[in-house]
Structure 1
Amino acid sequence: MEISPYLCAMNEKRWIRKPELTPEQQQAANDLMQSIYVDRFLATLLAQRNIKNFESAKDFFRPELSQLHDPFLMQDMSVAVERLSQAMAQGEKILIYGDYDVDGTTSVALFYGFLRKIYDKLDYYIPDRYAEGYGVSWQSIDWAQEHGFSLIVTLDCGIKSVDKVTEARHRGIDFIICDHHRPGADLPPAVAVLDPKREDCLYPYKELTGCGVGFKLLHAFCLHNGHDLEPLLNHLDLLVVSIAADIVPITGENRVLAYFGLQRLNTTPCVGVKALIQVAGFSSALDITNVVFGLGPRINAAGRIKHAREAVRLLLCDDEQDAQDFALEINKHNLSRRTFDSTMTEEALAMIQNDTWLADAKSTVLFKEDWHKGVIGIVASRCIEHFHRPTIILTQSNGKAAGSARSVPGFDVYEAIEECAELLEQFGGHTFAAGLTLPVENVDAFRQKFEEIVSSRILPEQLIPRIEVDLELELSAISPKFYKVMRQMAPFGPGNMTPVFATHGVHVAGRPTIMKEKHIKFEVFQGDSPPYTAVGFGMAHLYPDLMSGKPFSICYCVEENNFRGKQSLQLYLKDVKF
């Protein structure tokens, strides 16, 4: 079979250098060199992040909770607080309803965990991923009515549940919606709809997680009722897990919440999170990346393999032994998830490689009726690692084709799916990730139309993986002081990524070492600079070129290596070009 040019391009990576500083940014960088005593490279990194002067640098390096916005700036917040307060004053039964992913389960654990200390007529509900699907379900409304609940607070879902909320109103059940997904044309007829992405919402920060919106409601509730904020702030460990796992920008308010959330996570996490950290095997301080790849998948695994209520039960646990038992059980689910993930990814890649049309397409839409619904999103991401293009993985669930979509930088997969709305029964999500449901008989037509839309809109360069390079760096500029200042720019994540550098005209010192037949490690120097250890995972194939003696360019992050108590700086390679 002829190999697709897009597949060939996967061996290439585009190094996209950030634009040169504007005159205003350059002036800011010059001022920062003088006011906070950093070199021109660090000053440039800060200016790129819109740090303009001493005061903004202070806010950036030393966030304070006072930087959080007034929660009452959010549309409908006053109404939401009044209704929640009224329900508690009148002794109504309140149901806390959350989605089954990490954002949803941490939302419920935070909201319920806080309220239960001051109110006892409440319960929580997580829909079954397979029997009920995403969002507010008909089953949940029946359950709420049967058990006498008159107020439901949704977290990380509900913004598109117009029909369900309407029916609930007819049954005497009110809703407060806390969501962060894009609203549809009509808002649900809830008592209050809290969503920064509402067109009529003037809240200054639009990128909160579902857990973040729930936190803001409780923040407002505390202010309105004169409650101490400290018990609420004790739950910031859960909030940072939602921020990390939902891959939202770590800018503005999210950055403040993540900063203090990580402090909490690394000092006094709740009993359930502490048990999760232990089963994940972490022994040093956690950062956003550790949460994304270590804690997030384990919390998610409960809902993917069994039921997400188990994850909430762990996060709410007060007994250390019970928490250990729950965490070990969830860890088993995660091991099962990995097995499904690996098998399905192999099947998906084979389907693409063995089909000429699929291999040459600019999008991927795959359907297999027996794939595990709980890991289709993960498999979509895995496919993008091999075929860099918008991807949708579908499986059969309750007689329908249910799928998860993932995208590549710069392409809005939600808008592309929206263009296919006539073929779908339900869809929702973000620019880079979405979920959808459609009749099985529509899958082929959907695949064709989605491909037509993607082909007409996606740019050729978006089909090639990109590495965003912050700046070109001289190796001699790397020092313990340089790293110490750079490390204080954390927490890193979308909107404030770990700085990536490019250095040209470097040479190998000595002979590279192959590790586990896949990875490579070698010393590298530039001109008169001292040698630095560079590590390239999955780059063992570079050995012959490295041994040629030719100069080359490297693209990398600077990291600290701790080995047998000895600390040293090393370069974590992202790409090499000869």
Structure 2
Amino acid sequence: MRWTLKPIPEQNNVKRLSAELKVDALVSQLLLQRGIANYNEAKDFFRPELNDLHDPFLMKGMLEAVNRIEDAIAKQENILVYGDYDVDGTTSVALLASFLLTSYDKVATYIPDRYAEGYGVSLQGIDFADDNGFTLIIALDCGIKAIEKVAYAKEKGIDFIICDHHRPGKELPEAVAVLDPKREDCTYPYKELCGCGVGFKLIQALNSNSGGSIEEILPFLDLVATAIAADIVPITGENRVLAFCGLQVINTAPRTGIRAIVQQLKKKVLTITDVVFIVAPRINAAGRMVHGQHAVNLLMESDVEKAMQFASEIEKYNADRRDLDKEITAAALTQIQENKEEEKFTSVVFDEDWHKGVIGIVASRLTETYYRPTLVFTKSGDKLAASARSVKGFDVYEALQGCSDYLEQFGGHKYAAGLTLLESQYQNFKDQFEKVVSQTIDPKLLTPEIHIDAQIELHQITPKLFRIIKQFAPFGPGNMTPVFMAQGVQDTGYGKGVGEDEKHLKLTLVQNGSKPIGAIGFNLGEKLSLIKSKQQFDIVFSIEENEWNGQVNLQLKIKDIR
């Protein structure tokens, strides 16, 4: 890994903030690096409150959206809540539909089939609305580029409201309202909401327009926090408030469906990381393996027995997804090795039998292994479909534009994209993609980079420091868990490889006579020789709690050793 120390803030600012907050210099440095420079900003950071949320009517199109929904309710119209099949989409649909159903019963949900309809608003979905007498479709986490589809719906007398967070094209669909903070003409103060976040702003507006208090919609924040975690949006500003309050709901009074997922776990208190790795994949598994509507059914279910039944079905989908993911990743790694492609700038693999629902996960796994822009292809109808993943700092969407002559269609963003092409163009595309990447990527981007907040001494690691760091949560993009570096540490002599094939390292570390502290280094077993014979070495790590035999101690989670 490349070790990069973040810039150290000016000492005068560190001293001033330390005095203002009555904290030590290290804590002030961590806060300043996160853009927190005074008491009020620190208060908002450490104590997020619902009252910190922006007025939803600041979002362009919000008034029109609220008026159209209220009009539909007054005229007893049928409303179809439509969303994407991933976590952000299914939580969005569950959020808006369950909110509307608290006071109005002519509401149904629709999730497109990942395989039959593909991503976003589909003609099939609009035909379903037409056949069943729906005159208003509210699309969540999709729709910002559905210009022809919205026009098609209009011909059939169906209005659209779009709630999206993806970057719009040059033209917007002719919907009644288009809610998207990334619209160039939208002056909403926070731009990084996920799709479910935009959906929450809509229910906030509907609720306040009917005289409701913000506390009344607090129970919906378990869905919003789940979407924020899964969609990996920055946990800053308004997202931090939504995630912080949403985690409190998840840990104290989650909806029946989320409780059904969570109560299979042994953890008493879930963090945002638990939501990313435990709750979100299970919700996602429905859309990957069967149909996203199964996830919506679980998230909207209030009967405990039914919710438990749905959760156990989804648990099975998730287990199947994991098995497929493991199997396909192993086959893809073998393909890369057999074709001797480790030295290339890209990893591009294909098998017509690979399951389309997991190729995105496999692409992520391959990127972790070889740290190259990666594409995983499979057969989809009479074409090939692929998921693309990139490395930090390289725009894979732009690279695909340089290969567009060989593509049928593609879409996505800087680090993840999807595409389709004719099988006859596969080799031409593969060659062109390697050429484009090799000519445009900075070679240093092919080595993972680790950003370090501060260099510290082991004696500075205390329960008090850890208690303060815990209050920096929820962690995520824009507010990552603090990462530290310590130089010249030594193992006390008992360091060893642990786990299957001894691929992890377990150590006890000291530095300049400090008290020993335990440490674990996952996937660092090959570095055992660096820590033997009490020789000195440098580490990059975060601090965590380790519970063993009823004892809770601080330990270092080592990210790299040199």
**Does 1:16 pair with 2:16?**
no
Partner of 1:383: 366
Question: 2:426 aligned with 1:443, yes or no?
Answer: yes
Hey, what does 2:531 align to over in structure 1? 546
Alignment correspondent of 2:108: 123
- Match for 1:189 among 156, 174, 181? 174
Aligned-pair CA distance for 1:422: 4.2
Count of residues in correspondence between the two structures: 560
Deviation at 1:107, TM superposition (A): 0.6
1:464 matches 2:447: yes
Give me the whole-angstrom Cα distance separating, in 2, the residues matched to 1:203 and 1:282.
40
Equivalent positions of 1:67-106 (< 5 A) are 67-106=52-91
**Matched residues in 2 for 1:27 and 1:66: separation?**
33
In 1: Cα distance, 2:435 partner to 2:189 partner = 37
SS at match of 2:342: helix
1:69 Cα deviation after fit: 1.3
Paired residue type of 1:408: V
State whether residues 130 and 398 of structure 1, in contact with CA within 8 Å, keep that contact through their aligned partners in structure 2. no
Contact 2:50 2:214 in 1 (8 A): no
Query: Over residues 187-217 of structure 1, what are the superposed CA-to-partner deviations in whole Å (9 max), with x where a residue is unaligned?
Result: 2121111111112221111111100011111
CA distance in 2 between partners of 1:153 and 1:438 (Å)? 31
Q: Distance in 2 between matches of 1:439 and 1:76?
A: 40
Q: Identify the match of residue 326 of structure 1 among 291, 294, 310.
A: 310
Offset of 1:425 from its aligned partner? 3.4
- Structure 2 residue aligned with 1:243, among 228, 236, 250? 228
Partner residue of 2:381 out of 382, 394, 398: 398
1:299 match: 283
Gaps (5+ residues) in structure 2?
Answer: none
Q: 2-side partners of 1:566 and 1:507: how far apart? A: 24
For the residues of structure 1 that align with 2:467 and 2:7, how far apart are their CA atoms?
Answer: 25
After superposition, give the CA deviation of every residue in 1:44-99 in whole Å (9 maximum; x if it has no partner).
10110011011111111111112111111212112111111111111111100010
The equivalent of 1:559 in structure 2 is 544
Whether the aligned pair in 1 keeps the contact of 2:388 and 2:416 (CA below 8 Å) is yes
Which of 292, 305, 310 is equivalent to 1:308? 292
Distance in 1 separating the partners of 2:61 and 2:408: 29
* Sequence identity percentage: 54
Q: Distance in 2 between matches of 1:477 and 1:398?
A: 59
Task: Write the distance in 2 (CA, Å) between the matches of 1:519 and 1:125.
Answer: 45
Counterparts of 1:28 and 1:170, CA distance in 2: 61
Structure 1 runs of 4+ with >4 Å offset: none
Cα pair 1:28 1:53 within 8 Å, conserved: no
Classify the secondary structure of the residue corresponding to 1:38: coil
Q: Compare 461-470 and 184-193 and name the one that shifted more.
A: 184-193
- Structure 1, gaps ≥5 residues long: 1-12
SS for the counterpart of 1:235 is helix
Offset, 1:550:
1.6
Deviates more, 1:191-200 or 1:171-180: 191-200
CA distance in 2, matches of 1:460, 1:314: 46
Q: Does 1:522 align with 2:510?
A: no
* Matches of 1:381 and 1:530, distance apart in 2: 39
Instruction: Report the secondary structure of 1:205's partner residue.
Output: coil
Match of 2:208 in 1: 223
Aligned equivalents of 1:260, 1:215: Cα separation in 2 = 13
| TM-score normalized by the length of structure 1 | 0.94
1:139-154 correspondence to structure 2 within 5 Å: 139-154=124-139
Structure 1 residue 421: deviation in Å? 3.7
- The match for 1:343 among 327, 333, 347 is 327
Tell me by how many angstroms 1:270 deviates.
Answer: 0.4
Out of 50, 65, 78, the residue aligned to residue 50 of structure 2 is: 65
Q: Match for 1:221: what amino acid?
A: L
Larger mean Cα displacement after TM superposition, 210-219 or 542-551: 542-551
Q: Deviations over 1:400-437 (max 9, x none)?
A: 22222211111122232234344333333232222223
Distance in 2 of aligned mates of 1:360 and 1:513: 32
**Counterpart of 2:451 in 1: which secondary structure?**
strand
8 Å Cα contact 1:131/1:398 also seen in 2: no
- 1:366-411, CA deviations, whole angstroms, 9 ceiling, x for partnerless residues? 2221110110110000000111121121211122222222111111
Q: What are the equivalent positions in structure 2 for 1:350-389 lying under 5 Å apart? A: 350-356=334-340, 358-389=341-372
The equivalent of 2:394 in structure 1 is 411
Deviation digits for residues 209-241 of structure 1 (CA, Å, limit 9, x no counterpart): 100011111111222232343332211001000
Matches within 5 A, 1:422-437: 422-437=405-420
* Structure 1 contact 114–231 (Cα < 8 Å) conserved: no
Q: Distance in 2 between matches of 1:196 and 1:162?
A: 18
Q: Does structure 1 retain, via aligned residues, the 8 Å contact 2:493–2:533?
A: no
Query: Is residue 530–residue 537 contact of structure 2 (8 Å, CA) maintained in 1?
Result: no
Tell me: CA distance 1:507–1:54, structure 2 relative to 1, closer, same or farther (3 Å): same
Report SS of the residue matched to 2:533.
coil
In 2, Cα distance between the equivalents of 1:418 and 1:204? 31
The TM-score with structure 2 as length reference comes to 0.97
Deviation by residue 1:97-143 (Cα, 9 ceiling, x = unmatched): 01000111111111111111111111000011111110111111111
User: How far 1:489 moved relative to its partner?
Assistant: 0.6
